[in-house]
């Protein structure tokens, strides 16, 4: 049967200790570019968002540079994330089990995973992060272009630019929160980070958190 | 304000402007003080007091703020002049400073002369932009000469230009000068060269123009009075 | 005739107001100067304006600005809009008065209104890039400007323009440098008909009353002063023949105020946003303390081996 | 201006017509807005366009270009029929009661004495009836059919409001409002000022436009009175001064006349001009003509001017005909002229029929341009495509462009439109290699004299006779020249008792001191006193105004004799009392004439003597009926030479019957069939003539030539706002952007719709503004019958949209 949870490059390695390939090199590079630009955007954005954080512009060589660089990083982020989107959107499609998983969110946060349905490559939380980021980044890039004074200022009315700047701020805040959740989850769920560093996780990790994915990998060969 | 109707307040009121900025400069500070008092008096209707503070005549001394451009006219030399354009002849003050390259006094700013009874310091867009007239791209900087049938101007020396013009004029005058008309009346007329006299020249220039043109016998002399 | 300010002097003069007279500073909290200088104002009497553009030229000249020579597009307005070099602009409207049936050529001098509650300053993220002096002048500080264009969004009159050359924001300074040495703005000095006058705001209001009375005597029953309360009044005011409909004067805002969107953005969002971010982080932190990490057990590894090994 | 810029503030009604003060003289227009704001004056504007002045007006009435006489005559008719005239004034201070000779008549628009072949009038029948005592015969009752009053009533009765509407296109009600507001100033306590400019002068009947205005002001008693007068708003900064100096073909300084062939001796010239009073006890100032003339000759020829040689009268060139600017270019076009020197002058732009001007310039041997900036004329030989289609290879003219100092780089005096002579001090050093006009002309004159000394030649004696006694002959100082203008005593001047009144070498204090025996000199009698024994009054900067009447009598020097309002004795009644306290100005205090201004009158002549205020006229009074006019003693409605309709008042009249038209120009007049649209030219406030197109800041504020078109005409022709249009007349074409505006409206003339377009004149092919062909490519080459001022303000064109940028 055709696999629904396995992405190209995913593979199981037997041995004294089972390991599972979760992310290809390409995927990882893509992820870290995206991650990096998002962090830079957050810092530079916050610097211009609240006076108390204006000092952060120092990291970019002062206010004018921060103003000049921020939108370009935004472009990088957009294409970076576009890459991730193309790679991952299929496996992030919503399924019935995701609703069950969400209903049992209490067990999620208390780590009682035995009460949860078996999860494929991505659980509902990860899917939510994925989709909210997708939407927020689209909002950010479009509103961002509208307020990119240097090149696009003249094409929009002041009213439109005002709206855009507000949307940009709100979306950015949301995106930063989502990012925090994403990062925290990676830290909280031990053994996750190696997936994006070496590209592989332990069999136990896969068994514990993405059993359905592991089963298919195994049965798939 | 009413007091104002009768005297235009001013720096050099009741004074002859002397030659160029120089003499004027010497007197100026004293008169500026005088004018400030006059200003107070003139503005008398109470409001003036506050105006003065607002306009910065208070005594407080403070450093320049980051945003406030340093005072452009400091250390310039000023002269009273008259707008060259229309016949209102608005009074102007021209501020000049020495240009290091040319070592010449060059205009840095022009504004209306508040003392002048007609324009009272105001200027129209032409007067207000007069600095770009003296600095115009099309300002002629040296004598230029275009040969007969030539397709360009070439820079020449003053001597070349003036000698050539004098020669051309003498040849034409000798060829066409009429001493007596057919009735034997002395007419001393040179009818084949014409002179258009500029109406933006000073009266003194006008007189020299009259003297030279008629002195040579030109009947064809006109100015902008008709057009 | 309104009081004539004596000619400027050609010698150094200390600025009579400056940093110590700030009442507002963008993206910074300062304690406003205790003793405000008398508020100044420029009064533009549209009914006396012949649209000669002397103010435009005087502005370019005094501020050493160079505007490019454009083209005619079928109107008298040149340039066609405010630019980083054109800080003031005459806008022409041919208005057929429905009541009198007369044609009126309404000519308005556009430019910074120096609002008492300046939207540009509110919106500016760069500390000290926009300041407001106690006499009411709102000024841009080039050195601190980062060229983000937030001031444009903050301004209820669409005045500031960002230069493509140095990416800084520019607008009328009310000739702060002239006012600082006891002169009026360059445009006011030039104005041939005294359609522009300058002095304390109280004085300007008194003068405006006189003008309005004259206009009413000529049948402009709605003549009035434009000093919009929406921005707590301005330091550039208009005398309008038809104060009941400012909009006919080339779209002068009927009731200008800082856009609610900008208020929301610079008000609630700023704090709520940071708070939300903080909370999310805090939640993670607490959760980690309470629930601790979610670790893979040996049992999990065995299970994985078993599954794989089958 | 009979009055002054600042005096406008004393007006109760301001009437602007044939001019656009707000556009052309903004800083002078200030006094109109002041009169409105400070004393509630009302402003009315009559113009083909709703212009900048109209934007400030309380009342605006449109008028078809070139029909001012009909409109103004309508107002005169209104004043006469409604008896809205200042009776005491008119009766005493005008020639209203004079009788005109038997045989004077007027029919079909022509006065008696018209000669069709010579296109001129024999004025014999236009003269006053003179009594045996040598004085004019009057009828104080004004009832005599040949009294000026009765002649006027008859003459103007045809200009009814209906007729005015039919001819001028001004709606009856709008016209009547103008007439009523004017009439409101026939009372003794109210005055109206009339401001005009080239909108009145630049017509083939320009002088008669102004005659009408003067007559209105006389009927209202508004001449010589504060807030009144008839005020010509002059163009160039010193056009007044240069006109006073008389660099005009037939002029000497101070409005003296050039000798003509018919005046072989000084005596023959003078006797013709020594007007004797034609009423008892009048002064007729021209009795002193001889003194002024001789003093001038002494300045011109110095020691070479002696009693024996008629004070050098013979050295002076004599005129065989008047070489006005139109004839100048017609002769040039015929190839009869070798050289042209332009001093701050741009004829290719400013003379009518540019194609003719260009062709004329191409026939010159040499052209010299003395100017601070490059002019289009200096580059007339250059090819600038459609804007200046010249072929350099075909043009054999040698051209010189000499750099001249700008106004800021030299000192001297300007005389503004109010006749006020004011000094300016140099502010900067000469730019690059530029030299002052005075240096250049002196240098040229000296070089030419040297050539004659060396090689001899024709006309050496008159050339060498010219007095050139300056400290530095190559650069006479402004101060020296100013002193010459004023004049000085050449010997000790003594009075009847032999007491020395003015020591030899001293500057004269007034023209009253001039002598006709060669003991005084002085270029310009009207300026005498401006640089008297007490120094250079042009430099006076006392701006106090003791009288509060905006006189500023101690600022500069206003000629003549520092008078700020001309004929100001007329501000008082026969007894010397002001007409009203509101207009208190010059009055008799029992011993002398005095008041706010210097009396324009002999200060010691008591009112009882009955000496009249208009001391320049032999009548002593002003002229409602003026025989000296070339085209009639009274104004007559004349259509422009190019007109969309025939003369509706006098169908037989074609243009001005005595205006001079050269043959080749007559041929290129356009007809109403091919050119149905009326066009007029004008200045823009952002520009000054043709200089400021080279001034960057002004180019920014008005960058490109445009054509003003009514919405109705635009609709008819399918012209878009900002689109390109082509405008052509029978002489040439121009192209520009269309400014479609409500400020122009079509006229209903005798039931037919007539469109008018407006053409700003400030653009050309040299400078920073977008290139354009000279507007005078379109204008006709015909001048006013009296002043030869070209008819720029009313001619026929056609217009069409063309491909081009649509903004």
**Contact of D135 with D278, CB cutoff 8 Å:** yes
At residue D246, the pLDDT reads 96
Query: D40 and chain C: CB distance < 8 Å anywhere?
Result: yes
pTM above 0.90, yes or no: yes
Catalytic residues of A, which ones? Answer: 182
The pLDDT assigned to D275 comes to 80
Looking at B27-41, B132-146, D44-58, D620-634, which range is the least confident one? Answer: B27-41
- Do B and D make contact via 3 or more CB pairs under 8 A? The reply is yes
What element of type H or E holds A45?
helix A25-49
CA dihedral over D504, D508, D509, D510, signed as positive or negative: positive
Evaluate whether residue A15 is within a structural domain: yes
pLDDT given for residue B66 in this prediction? 63
The CA distance from B89 to the nearest CA of chain D, in Å, is 5
Q: pLDDT for D495-508, tens place per residue?
A: 999 999 999 999 99
| Structural domain includes residue A105 | yes
Above 50 in pLDDT, residue B11? no
pLDDT of A1 higher than 70:
no
Please state the rounded mean pLDDT for residues C86-105: 97
Closest chain C CA to residue A149:
C149
For residue A61, give the chain C residue with the closest CA.
Answer: C146
Q: Is the pLDDT of residue D743 over 50?
A: yes
For position B52, what pLDDT does the model report? 36
pLDDT bracket for residue B25 (50, 70, 90): very low
- DSSP notation for A116-156: SPP--SS-HHHHHHHHHHHHHHHHHHHHHHHT-HHHHGGGS
Beta strands B193-197 and B221-223, pairing class: parallel
pLDDT tops 60 at residue B26: no
Between the alpha carbon of residue B69 and those of residues B65, B128, C174, D91, D595, the distances in Å are 8, 20, 12, 65, 50
Share of chain D above pLDDT 90, in %: 97
Strand spans (E) along D482-548: 493-494, 500-502, 531-532, 535-536
pLDDT tens digits along A154-195: 899 999 999 999 999 999 999 999 999 999 999 999 999 999
Q: Report the gap between the CA of C279 and the closest CA in chain B (Å).
A: 39
Q: Are B54 and C194 an interchain contact pair (Cβ–Cβ within 8 Å)?
A: no
**Interface touch B183/D341, C-beta < 8 Å:** no
D58, D700, D701 member nearest C218 (Cβ): D58
Task: Report the percentage of chain C scoring pLDDT > 90.
Answer: 92
- How far apart are alpha carbons C256 and D243 in whole angstroms? 55
Packing angle of the helix pair B203-216, D289-301 (nearest 10 deg): 80
Taking the Cβ of residue C134 and every Cβ of chain B, the question of whether any pair is shorter than 8 Å is answered with no
The Cα of A58 is separated from the nearest Cα of chain C by a number of Å equal to 12
How far apart CA D70 and CA C142 sit, in angstroms, is: 62
> Which of the four pLDDT bands, split at 50, 70 and 90, describes residue B39?
very low
* Kind of pairing between the strands at D795-802 and D706-710: unpaired
Angle at D727 between CA D724 and CA D732, to 5 degrees: 130
* pLDDT at residue D538, rounded to an integer: 98
Q: Is C62 on the interface with B (CB under 8 A)?
A: yes
> Which two structure tokens, joined as six digits, stand for B36?
């400030």
Structural domain count, chain A:
1
Contact call for B217 and D462, based on CB within 8 A: yes
* Nearest chain C residue to B126, by CA: C54
Query: Could you write out the three-class secondary structure of C77-112?
Result: CCCCCCCCCCCEEEEEEEEECCCCCCEEEEEEEEEC
By the 8 A CB rule, do D163 and D649 touch? yes
* 3-state SS, residue D544: strand
Q: Indicate the CATH number of D6-232 among 3.40.470.10, 3.40.50.300, 3.90.1170.50, 3.40.228.10.
A: 3.40.228.10
ipTM: 0.94
Which residues from C are below 8 Å from B108, CB to CB?
Answer: none
Arithmetic mean of pLDDT, A104-133: 92
Put simply, whether C120 touches B (Cβ < 8 Å) is no
CB distance from C2 to chain B under 8 Å? yes
User: Can you say whether the dihedral through the CA atoms of D426, D431, D437, D439 is positive or negative?
Assistant: positive
Q: Which residue has the tokens 């007095």?
A: D467
What distances in angstroms separate CA D589 from CA C155, D551, D567, D594, one per listed residue?
66, 20, 18, 7
Chains with at least 3 CB pairs less than 8 angstroms from chain C: A, B, D
* Half-sphere CA count of D135, side-chain side, radius 13 A: 11
**pLDDT for B58:** 35
Collapsing DSSP to helix, strand or coil, D316 comes out as coil
Query: Where does C19-258 sit in CATH, by number?
Result: 3.30.70.20
Q: Which residues of B touch D539 (CB under 8 A)?
A: 16-18
**Residue of D176 and A3 predicted with greater confidence:** D176
* D76: pLDDT strictly greater than 90: yes
Angle, helix D26-39 to helix C201-217, in steps of 10 degrees: 80
Provide the 10 A C-beta neighbour count for residue D561: 18
- Contact exists between C and B (3 or more beta carbon pairs < 8 Å): yes
What is the domain range of residue A94? 11-220
The pLDDT assigned to B92 comes to 98
The mean pLDDT of D615-631, rounded to a whole number, is: 95
State what percent of residues in chain A have pLDDT above 70.
98
| Residue among B88, B71, B81, B83 nearest B20 (CA) | B81
Is the CB of residue D261 less than 8 Å from the CB of residue B187? Answer: yes
Mean pLDDT of the residues in chain D: 96
Choice among A206-220, B50-64, D306-320, D687-701 with the minimum mean pLDDT:
B50-64
Q: Tokens representing D192?
A: 């109206």
Chain D positions touching B83 (Cβ under 8 A) are 237, 407
Asked if D234 and B86 come within 8 Å (Cβ–Cβ), the reply is: yes
CB contact under 8 A, B50 and C8: no
Spatial contact of B14 and B27, defined as CB atoms under 8 Å apart = no
Q: What is the DSSP letter of C265?
A: I
Tell me the β-bridge partners of D593: D588
Report the CATH number that the domain containing residue A18 is assigned in CATH.
1.20.950.20
Rg (CA), chain D: 27
Domains and CATH numbers, chain B: 1-59 (no CATH), 72-139 (3.30.200.210), 140-174 (no CATH), 177-227 (no CATH)
- Whether residue D787 contacts residue D250, with contact meaning beta carbons closer than 8 Å, is answered with no
For residue C241, count CB atoms less than 10 angstroms from its CB and return exposed for 0-12, middle for 13-18, buried for 19 or more.
buried
Inter-chain residue contact D236 with B86, CB threshold 8 Å: yes
Interface of D with C in 669-728 (CB under 8 A): 685-686, 696-706, 720-723
- The fold of D663-802 is Barwin-like endoglucanases (2.40.40)
pLDDT at site B35: 36
Domain limits of chain C?
Answer: 19-258, 274-309
Contacts of D6 (CB under 8 A, 6+ apart): B117, B118, D31, D418, D550, D551, D552
Q: Where in chain D is the domain with CATH 3.40.50.740?
A: 325-412+434-465
By CB atoms closer than 10 A (0-12, 13-18, 19+), residue C112 is: buried
- Looking at residue C290, its pLDDT comes to 92
Q: Nearest CA of chain A to the CA of C215: how many Å?
A: 35
The arithmetic mean of pLDDT across residues D669-678, rounded, is 96
The answer to whether the CB of D200 falls within 8 A of the CB of D21 is: no
- Predicted local confidence at residue B67, as pLDDT: 75
pLDDT tier at C268, thresholds 50, 70, 90: confident
Q: What is the pLDDT of residue A16?
A: 87
Give C279-299 as a DSSP string: HHHHHHHHHHHHH--BPPPHH
Report d(CA D796, CA D784) in Å as an integer: 17
Give the pLDDT confidence score for residue A22 in this predicted structure.
95
Residue of D nearest to B136 (CA): D695
Residue D231 CA to residue D16 CA, distance in Å, equals 10
Q: Which residues of A touch C166 (CB under 8 A)?
A: none
Of A173, A207, A208, the CB nearest to C277: A173
The pLDDT value recorded for residue C310 is 55
> Strand, coil or helix: what is D747?
strand
Which chain B residues are within 8 Å of C142, Cβ to Cβ? 67
- Nearest-CB residue to B32 (from C2, C9, C176): C9
Give the model's pLDDT for residue D805: 66
Shortest Cα distance, chain D CAs vs residue C201, angstroms: 20
Q: How far, in Å, CA of C78 to CA of C62, rounded?
A: 19
- The three-state secondary structure class of D135 is coil
- Determine the pLDDT at residue D806: 54
Chain C closest CA to B109's CA: distance in Å?
7
Q: Looking at residues D745-768, what average pLDDT do you find?
A: 97
Alpha-helix residue ranges (DSSP H) falling in D407-477: 437-455, 460-465
Distance CA D562, CA D547 (A): 16
Q: Which fold has domain D325-412+434-465?
A: Rossmann fold (3.40.50)
Q: Look at C296 and A165 and tell me if their CB atoms are within 8 Å.
A: no
- The span from the CA of D269 to the CA of D318, in Å, is 11
Q: Give the best residue of D692, D697, D714 to mutate against chain C (max C CB count within 10 A).
A: D697
Strand partners, D256: D252
Q: How many angstroms separate the CA of residue B122 from the nearest CA in chain C? A: 4
CB pair distance less than 8 Å for B109 and C61: yes
Q: Taking a C-beta distance cutoff of 8 angstroms, is the pair D311, D305 a contact?
A: yes
pLDDT in tens, D430-480: 999 999 999 999 999 999 999 999 999 999 999 999 999 999 999 999 999
pLDDT, tens only, B65-87: 567 888 999 989 999 999 999 99
Asked whether the beta carbons of residue B224 and residue D242 sit closer than 8 angstroms, the reply is yes
| pLDDT for the residue numbered B40 | 34
Query: Phi and psi dihedrals of D488, rounded to 5?
Result: -145, 170
- Report the largest interatomic distance among the alpha carbons of chain A, rounded to a whole angstrom: 65
| Residue B17 clears pLDDT 60, i.e. is over it | no
Supply the pLDDT for residue D287. Answer: 87
pLDDT tens digit string along D391-436? 999 999 999 999 999 999 999 999 999 999 999 999 999 999 999 9
CA dist., res. D670 & res. D692, Å (int): 32
State which residue of chain B sits closest to D361, comparing Cα positions: B194
Q: What's the pLDDT tens digit per position in D544-563?
A: 999 999 999 999 999 999 99
Contact of chains B and A by CB distance (3 or more pairs under 8 angstroms): no
Quick: pLDDT tens for C214-261: 999 999 999 999 999 999 999 999 999 999 999 999 999 999 999 999
Spatial distance between the Cα atoms of D298 and D294, rounded to a whole number of angstroms: 6
Instruction: Specify the pLDDT at position A111.
Output: 86
């Amino acid at each position: 049967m055709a696999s629904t949870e396995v992405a190209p490059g995913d593979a199981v390695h037997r041995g004294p200790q089972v390991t599972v390939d979760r992310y290809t090199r390409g995927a990882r590079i893509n992820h870290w570019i995206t991650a990096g630009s998002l962090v830079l955007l957050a810092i530079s954005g916050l610097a211009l968002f609240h006076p108390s954080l204006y000092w952060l512009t120092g990291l970019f060589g002062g206010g004018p540079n921060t103003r000049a660089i921020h939108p370009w990083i935004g472009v990088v982020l957009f294409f970076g994330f576009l890459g991730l989107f193309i790679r991952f959107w299929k496996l992030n499609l919503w399924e019935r089990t995701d609703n069950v998983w969400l209903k049992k969110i209490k067990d999620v946060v208390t780590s009682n995973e035995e009460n949860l349905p078996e999860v494929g490559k991505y659980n509902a939380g990860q899917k939510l992060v994925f989709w909210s980021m997708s939407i927020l980044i689209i909002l950010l890039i479009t509103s961002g272009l509208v307020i990119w004074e240097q090149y696009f200022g003249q094409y929009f009315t002041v009213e439109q630019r005002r709206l855009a700047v507000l949307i940009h701020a709100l979306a950015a805040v949301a995106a930063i929160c989502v990012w925090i959740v994403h990062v925290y989850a990676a830290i909280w769920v031990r053994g996750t980070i190696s997936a994006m560093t070496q590209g592989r996780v332990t069999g136990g990790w896969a068994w514990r958190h993405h059993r359905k994915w592991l089963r298919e990998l195994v049965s798939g060969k | 304000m009413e007091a104002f109707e009768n005297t235009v307040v001013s720096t050099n009121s009741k004074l002859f402007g002397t030659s160029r900025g120089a003499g004027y400069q010497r007197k100026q500070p004293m008169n500026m003080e005088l004018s400030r008092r006059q200003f107070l008096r003139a503005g008398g209707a109470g409001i003036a007091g506050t105006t003065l503070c607002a306009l910065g005549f208070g005594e407080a001394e403070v450093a320049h703020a980051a945003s406030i451009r340093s005072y452009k006219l400091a250390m310039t030399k000023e002269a009273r002049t008259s707008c060259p354009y229309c016949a209102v002849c608005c009074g102007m003050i021209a501020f000049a400073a020495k240009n290091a390259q040319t070592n010449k006094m060059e205009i840095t700013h022009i504004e209306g002369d508040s003392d002048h009874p007609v324009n009272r310091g105001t200027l129209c867009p032409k007067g207000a932009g007069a600095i770009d007239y003296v600095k115009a791209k099309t300002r002629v900087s040296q004598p230029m000469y275009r040969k007969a049938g030539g397709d360009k101007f070439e820079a020449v020396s003053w001597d070349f230009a003036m000698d050539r013009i004098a020669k051309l004029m003498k040849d034409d005058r000798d060829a066409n000068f009429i001493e007596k008309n057919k009735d034997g009346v002395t007419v001393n007329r040179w009818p084949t060269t014409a002179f258009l006299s500029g109406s933006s020249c000073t009266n003194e220039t006008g007189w020299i123009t009259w003297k030279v043109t008629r002195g040579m016998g030109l009947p064809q002399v006109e100015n902008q009075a008709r057009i | 005739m309104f009081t004539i300010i004596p000619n400027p002097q050609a010698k150094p003069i200390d600025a009579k107001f400056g940093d110590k007279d700030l009442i507002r500073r963008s993206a910074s909290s300062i304690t406003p100067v205790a003793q405000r200088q008398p508020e100044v104002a420029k009064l533009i009497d549209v009914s006396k304006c012949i649209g000669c553009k002397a103010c435009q030229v005087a502005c370019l000249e005094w501020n050493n600005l160079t505007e490019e020579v454009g083209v005619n597009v079928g109107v008298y307005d040149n340039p066609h809009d405010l630019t980083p070099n054109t800080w003031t602009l005459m806008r022409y409207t041919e208005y057929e008065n429905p009541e009198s049936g007369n044609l009126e050529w309404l000519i308005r001098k556009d430019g910074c209104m120096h609002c008492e509650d300046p939207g540009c300053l509110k919106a500016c993220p760069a500390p000290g890039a926009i300041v407001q002096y106690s006499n009411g002048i709102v000024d841009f500080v080039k050195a601190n400007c980062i060229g983000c264009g937030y001031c444009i969004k903050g301004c209820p009159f669409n005045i500031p323009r960002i230069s493509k050359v140095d990416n800084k924001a520019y607008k009328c300074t009310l000739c702060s440098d002239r006012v600082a040495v006891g002169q009026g703005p360059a445009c006011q000095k030039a104005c041939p008909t005294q359609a522009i006058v300058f002095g304390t705001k109280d004085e300007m209001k008194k003068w405006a009353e006189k003008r309005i009375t004259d206009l009413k005597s000529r049948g402009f029953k709605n003549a009035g002063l434009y000093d919009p309360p929406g921005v707590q009044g301005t330091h550039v005011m208009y005398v309008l023949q038809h104060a009941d409909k400012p909009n006919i004067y080339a779209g002068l805002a009927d009731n200008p105020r800082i856009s609610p969107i900008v208020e929301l953005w610079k008000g609630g969002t700023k704090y709520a946003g940071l708070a939300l971010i903080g909370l999310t982080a805090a939640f993670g932190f607490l959760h980690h303390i309470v629930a601790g990490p979610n670790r893979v057990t040996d049992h999990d590894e065995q299970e994985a081996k078993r599954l794989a090994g089958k | 201006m009979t009055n002054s810029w600042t005096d406008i503030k004393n007006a109760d009604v301001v009437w602007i017509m044939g001019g656009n003060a707000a556009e052309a003289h903004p800083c002078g227009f200030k006094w109109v807005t002041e009169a409105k704001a400070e004393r509630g004056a009302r402003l009315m504007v009559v113009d083909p366009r709703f212009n900048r002045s109209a934007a400030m007006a309380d009342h605006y009435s449109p008028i078809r270009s070139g029909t001012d006489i009909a409109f103004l005559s309508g107002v005169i008719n209104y004043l006469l029929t409604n008896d809205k005239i200042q009776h005491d004034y008119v009766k005493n201070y005008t020639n209203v009661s004079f009788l005109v000779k038997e045989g004077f008549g007027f029919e079909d628009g022509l006065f008696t004495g018209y000669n069709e072949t010579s296109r001129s009038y024999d004025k014999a029948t236009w003269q006053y009836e003179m009594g045996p005592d040598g004085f004019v015969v009057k009828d104080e009752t004004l009832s005599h059919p040949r009294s000026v009053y009765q002649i006027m009533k008859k003459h103007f009765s045809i200009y009814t409001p209906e007729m005015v509407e039919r001819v001028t296109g001004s709606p009856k009600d709008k016209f009547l409002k103008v007439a009523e507001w004017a009439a409101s100033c026939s009372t003794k306590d109210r005055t109206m000022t009339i401001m005009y400019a080239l909108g009145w002068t630049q017509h083939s009947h320009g002088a008669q436009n102004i005659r009408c205005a003067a007559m209105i002001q006389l009927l209202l008693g508004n001449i010589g009175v504060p807030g009144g007068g008839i005020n010509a708003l002059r163009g160039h900064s010193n056009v007044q001064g240069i006109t006073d100096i008389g660099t005009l073909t037939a002029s000497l300084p101070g409005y003296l006349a050039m000798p003509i062939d018919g005046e072989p001796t000084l005596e023959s010239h003078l006797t013709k001009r020594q007007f004797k009073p034609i009423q008892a006890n009048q002064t007729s100032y021209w009795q002193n003509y001889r003194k002024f003339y001789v003093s001038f000759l002494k300045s011109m020829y110095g020691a070479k001017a002696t009693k024996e040689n008629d004070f050098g009268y013979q050295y002076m060139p004599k005129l065989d005909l008047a070489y006005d600017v139109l004839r100048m270019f017609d002769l040039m076009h015929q190839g009869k002229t070798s050289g042209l020197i332009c001093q701050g002058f741009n004829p290719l732009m400013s003379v009518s029929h540019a194609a003719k001007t260009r062709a004329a310039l191409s026939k010159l041997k040499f052209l010299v341009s003395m100017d601070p900036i490059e002019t289009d004329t200096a580059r007339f030989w250059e090819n600038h495509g459609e804007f200046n289609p010249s072929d350099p290879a075909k043009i054999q003219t040698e051209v010189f462009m000499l750099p001249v100092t700008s106004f800021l780089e030299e000192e001297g005096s300007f005389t503004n439109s109010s006749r006020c002579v004011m000094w300016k001090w140099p502010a900067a050093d000469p730019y690059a290699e530029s030299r002052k006009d005075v240096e250049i002309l002196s240098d040229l004159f000296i070089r030419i004299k040297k050539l004659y000394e060396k090689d001899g030649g024709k006309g050496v004696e008159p050339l060498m006779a010219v007095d050139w006694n300056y400290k530095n002959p190559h650069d006479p100082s402004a101060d020296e020249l100013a002193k010459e203008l004023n004049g000085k005593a050449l010997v000790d001047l003594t009075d009847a008792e032999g007491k020395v009144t003015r020591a030899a070498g001293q500057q004269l204090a007034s023209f009253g001191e001039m002598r006709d025996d060669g003991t005084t000199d002085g270029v310009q009698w009207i300026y005498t006193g401006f640089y008297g024994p007490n120094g250079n009054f042009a430099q006076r900067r006392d701006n106090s105004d003791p009288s509060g009447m905006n006189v500023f009598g101690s600022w500069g020097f206003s000629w003549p004799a520092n008078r700020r309002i001309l004929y100001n004795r007329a501000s008082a009644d026969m007894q010397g009392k002001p007409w009203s306290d509101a207009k208190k100005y010059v009055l008799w205090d029992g011993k002398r004439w005095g008041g706010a201004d210097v009396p324009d009158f002999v200060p010691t002549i008591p009112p009882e003597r009955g000496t009249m205020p208009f001391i320049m006229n032999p009548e002593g009074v002003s002229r409602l009926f003026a025989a000296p006019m070339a085209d009639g003693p009274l104004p007559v409605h004349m259509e422009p030479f190019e007109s969309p309709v025939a003369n509706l008042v006098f169908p037989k009249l074609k243009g001005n019957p005595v205006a001079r038209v050269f043959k080749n120009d007559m041929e290129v007049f356009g007809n109403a069939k091919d050119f149905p649209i009326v066009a007029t030219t004008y200045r823009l406030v952002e520009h000054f003539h043709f200089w400021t197109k080279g001034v960057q800041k002004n180019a920014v504020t008005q960058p490109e030539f445009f054509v003003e078109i009514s919405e109705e005409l635009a609709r008819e022709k399918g012209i878009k706002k900002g689109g390109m249009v082509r405008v052509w007349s029978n002489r040439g074409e121009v192209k520009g952007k269309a400014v479609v505006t409500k400020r122009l409206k079509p006229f209903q003339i005798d039931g037919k719709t007539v469109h008018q377009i407006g053409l700003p004149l400030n653009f050309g092919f040299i400078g920073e503004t977008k290139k354009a062909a000279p507007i005078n490519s379109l204008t006709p080459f015909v001048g006013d019958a009296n002043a030869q001022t070209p008819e720029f303000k009313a001619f026929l064109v056609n217009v069409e949209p063309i491909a081009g940028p649509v903004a």
